[in-house]
Amino acid sequence: MGKTLYEKVFESHTVRRLDSGQYQVLVGLHLLHEVTSPQAFAMLREAGLKALYPNRSYAVCDHVIPTQNRSRPFADPLAEEMIAELEKNCRDFHVHYFAPEYGEQGVIHVIGPEKGLTQPGMTICCGDSHTATHGAFGAVAMGIGTSQVRDVLASQTLPLAKLAVRRVEVNGKLRPGVYAKDLVLYLINRLGVQGGVGYAYEYAGEAFEKLSMEGRMTVCNMAIEGGALCGYINPDATTYQYLKGRPYAPKPHAWEQAQAYWDSIRSDADAEYQDRVQFRAEDIAPMVTWGINPGQSVRIDGRIPELSSFSAQERPMVQEALDYMGFEPGTRVRGQKIDVAFIGSCTNGRFSDFEEVARLLQKTGRKVAPGVRALAVPGSQQVHRKLVESGYHKIFTDAGFEFREAGCSMCLAMNPDKLQGKELCASSSNRNFKGRQGSTRGRTLLMSPVMVAAAAVAGEVVDARDLFDIAKEEEEV
Ligand code: SF4
């Protein structure tokens, strides 16, 4: 019987089995940011310990950094303090820091892949839930807590339980106007926000194989929203092409050997899975969330479900979501008026996300509706530079978007980018939890960047395929 990529990578990084039944696992790449690392460094100092392998850790500031005025000290003294502390910790513990001053900053899960640090067959950890993003390369990548950040710094290892593997297969081609974000929102809707607990998700089938690396990152980024600690896609030619030439990717003389290893860790054809599920790509339409978790979503042409369609156990949570969002069951999500549109985050803040929106804005000459505040926030300074060099940033600003500096921005709003009061935000981020975007009453509708742009233009939730004539494009092809 063959093995899955997860088993191969987990086993090859296992140092020993622990008495607890867990395994001590070597961490190949450790990513750090300003929010979950200060206490970990403080604990290391207190214990008189050094970082054991500092060259396996890399840090950025992303959550609290402002996306407008970045002159130091920052206007927010807490942001200044947190970033200054990260800078000091990186200096003291000899951890490489990708500094904004050198144009290297961005959201940690955008930076790792962009630099070529994220590679197939690695074990990757970060004190951040969306570390699953890196699974797009065929890595076993997961979020950890602050005390685990300390443990990884001190020992480069973690005690981990071995997960079961569910093969999530989506066959066929996504229809025009349906993107990676719709695919993952659909899967979370079908499998549930707790459905992946105890599993690593192996995403397989033509729908994933056809995605770009950036699309694959969008999918894996949200594995955790479906309860799976990690999600991955077996590496292939798309992966290798993306990695080649990136600063930390293997150099030409070592490439062949690296690729042979990466090929060897792909799941075997006869691998055994603890569970398998199958879906058809053609069944997927643009998705929009209506509730307070990423599984509470509906197709753009659908209606907010009736309470009676849920089990008795689920109903209180559904009622809570409806009350918070101010939505009536049975009404359409299409036509809900929005106040704010946000394109960015580690889910959808990469170059291709903005490129597709810019293409459609330019083609149709559409502008942001009066009264809508629209933010385009690149996931990294490199994405920002590329958007400026390509002129796409001007398409955004001409259309009425605010084009900002790189950071997490309104995804979690630990910076000045916040919703006000009960504002409703069309957002390309990954969480629609209560108060997630900076106002305790603020409301989030998750959707793809193209759907966010369409909502910004119409001033309400619409089907981007109609607004941007995407169906017509298919006919022209
Ligand atoms: S963009 Fe959002 S989800 Fe991603 S790391 Fe930042 S706050 Fe977390």
Q: 377, 378, 381, 376: which is closest to 453 by C-alpha?
A: 376
The predicted pLDDT at position 279 comes to 98
- pLDDT tens-digit profile of 59-116? 999 999 999 999 999 999 999 999 999 999 999 999 999 999 999 999 999 999 999 9
The predicted pLDDT at position 473 comes to 75
The predicted pLDDT at position 388 comes to 98
Distance 344 CA to ligand 1 centre (A): 9
Distance 132 CA to ligand 1 centre (A): 12
Burial 36-58 (b: 16+ CB within 10 A, else e): bbbebbebbeeeeeebeebebbb
3-class secondary structure, 124? strand
Q: 360, 330, 383, 316: which is closest to 451 by C-alpha?
A: 360
Q: Give, for ligand 1, the residue of 181, 342, 343, 346 to mutate: max count of ligand atoms closer than 8 Å to Cβ.
A: 346
Q: Is the CB of 430 under 6 A from ligand 1?
A: yes
The predicted pLDDT at position 64 comes to 98
Q: Give, for ligand 1, the residue of 224, 345, 409 to mutate: max count of ligand atoms closer than 8 Å to Cβ.
A: 345
Q: Is the CB of 216 under 6 A from ligand 1?
A: no
The predicted pLDDT at position 475 comes to 61
- pLDDT tens-digit profile of 109-166? 999 999 999 999 999 999 999 999 999 999 999 999 999 999 999 999 999 999 999 9
Burial 284-321 (b: 16+ CB within 10 A, else e): bbbbbbbbbbbbbbbbbeeebbeeeeeeeeeeeebeeb
Question: Does residue 420 contact residue 427 with C-beta atoms inside 8 Å?
Answer: no
3-class secondary structure, 208? helix
Cα gap 306→447, rounded to integer Å: 21
User: Which residues in the chain land under pLDDT 70?
Assistant: 474-477
| Residue matched to tokens 């349906």 | 178
The predicted pLDDT at position 192 comes to 97
Distance 282 CA to ligand 1 centre (A): 30
The predicted pLDDT at position 74 comes to 97
| Residue matched to tokens 């955004």 | 396
User: Taking the model in full, what pTM does it have?
Assistant: 0.97
What are the φ and ψ backbone dihedral angles of 433, each rounded to 5 degrees?
-65, 160
Burial class (CB in 10 A: 0-12, 13-18, 19+), 171: middle
Cα gap 35→150, rounded to integer Å: 13
What are the φ and ψ backbone dihedral angles of 44, each rounded to 5 degrees?
-65, -45
The predicted pLDDT at position 476 comes to 61
